[in-house]
């Protein structure tokens, strides 16, 4: 369900020797230039904390899916008429309101994802609370992208259940993408809330 074309596979290896030069301690990738690759690469991209910002390169997929779904529904509804009434669907207030809601969810998701990514880029040596806050913002943005597609689905009608209509693929793909661990807002939100309230968050790789 979703991502059917990725060809993703799990690979298991046993009793394989990994030389030290092929291993990388994540504790050295928490932001800045402590990692060994910094000897050659010192650009902003190589300063971003690897684990804390791991979800950001992936979240754009959910956002793009939501944008695609919106454009598809918008184009379809500009010309669609009711099967039995012949009325222009674009004149229905319920359609207009839900379309606007989806648009605002997508715009909000884009801002959250972009601003949190830029924050990682501008200041790679962030504290734990700041990293968790940005990670929660990104997860929330993905949830908004998913909600936007689900909102579009909710008023699209029965055409959305057919494989010939792209909306069913947009829905499956955004649901599949949002299942990634990095986008679980309950986990990300709990982690930030714990630290913000004075608690301790133990993750040596963050």
Task: For residue range 6-34, list pLDDT tens digits in order.
Answer: 667 788 989 999 898 888 888 888 888 88
Q: Which residues contact 57 (CB under 8 A, 6 or more apart)?
A: none
Residue 60 has what pLDDT? 94
Average pLDDT over residues 123-151: 95
Question: 141 with 57: CB under 8 angstroms?
Answer: no
Phi, psi of 47 (to 5 degrees): -95, -10
Top-ranked range on mean pLDDT: pick from 29-43, 86-100, 181-195: 181-195
Residue 160 has what pLDDT? 84
Residue 168 has pLDDT above 90, yes or no: yes
Domains located in the chain, CATH noted? 55-193 (1.20.140.10)
Question: 6 with 173: CB under 8 angstroms?
Answer: no
Among the ranges given (12-26, 59-73, 103-117, 187-201), the one the predictor scored with the smallest mean pLDDT: 12-26
DSSP 145: H
When pLDDT is cut at 50, 70 and 90, the band that residue 44 belongs to is confident
Residue 148 has what pLDDT? 98
- pLDDT tens digits for range 88-128: 888 899 999 999 999 999 999 999 999 999 999 898 789 99
- Nearest alpha-carbon partner for 47 in 32, 34, 26: 32
Among the ranges given (45-49, 82-86, 98-102, 130-134), the one the predictor scored with the smallest mean pLDDT: 82-86
Percent of residues, the chain, with pLDDT higher than 90: 59
Average pLDDT over residues 35-57: 88
Residue 56 has pLDDT above 90, yes or no: yes
| pTM, two decimal places | 0.87
- Nearest alpha-carbon partner for 169 in 4, 31, 12, 35: 4
When pLDDT is cut at 50, 70 and 90, the band that residue 2 belongs to is low
Residue 5 has pLDDT above 70, yes or no: no
Distance CA 49, CA 46 (A): 8
**Mean pLDDT (the chain, rounded):** 90
Residue 19 has what pLDDT? 92
């Amino acid at each position: 369900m979703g991502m059917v074309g990725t060809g993703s596979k799990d690979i298991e290896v046993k009793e394989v020797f990994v030389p030290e030069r092929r291993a990388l301690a994540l504790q050295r990738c928490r932001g800045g230039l402590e990692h060994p690759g910094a000897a050659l690469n010192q650009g902003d991209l190589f300063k971003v904390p690897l684990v804390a910002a791991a979800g950001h390169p992936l979240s754009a997929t959910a956002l793009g899916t939501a944008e695609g779904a919106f454009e598809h529904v918008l184009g379809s509804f500009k010309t669609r008429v009711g099967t039995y009434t012949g009325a222009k669907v674009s004149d229905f207030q319920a359609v207009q309101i839900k379309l606007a809601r989806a648009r605002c969810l997508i715009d909000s998701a884009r801002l959250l994802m972009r601003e949190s990514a830029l924050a990682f880029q501008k200041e790679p040596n962030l504290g734990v609370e700041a990293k968790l806050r940005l990670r929660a913002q990104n997860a929330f943005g993905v949830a908004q992208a998913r909600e936007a597609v689900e909102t579009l689905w909710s008023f699209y009608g029965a055409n959305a259940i057919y494989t010939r209509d792209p909306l069913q693929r947009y829905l499956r793909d955004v649901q599949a993408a949002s299942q990634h661990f990095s986008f679980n807002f309950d986990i990300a939100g709990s982690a930030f809330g714990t630290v913000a309230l004075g608690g301790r968050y133990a993750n040596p790789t963050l």
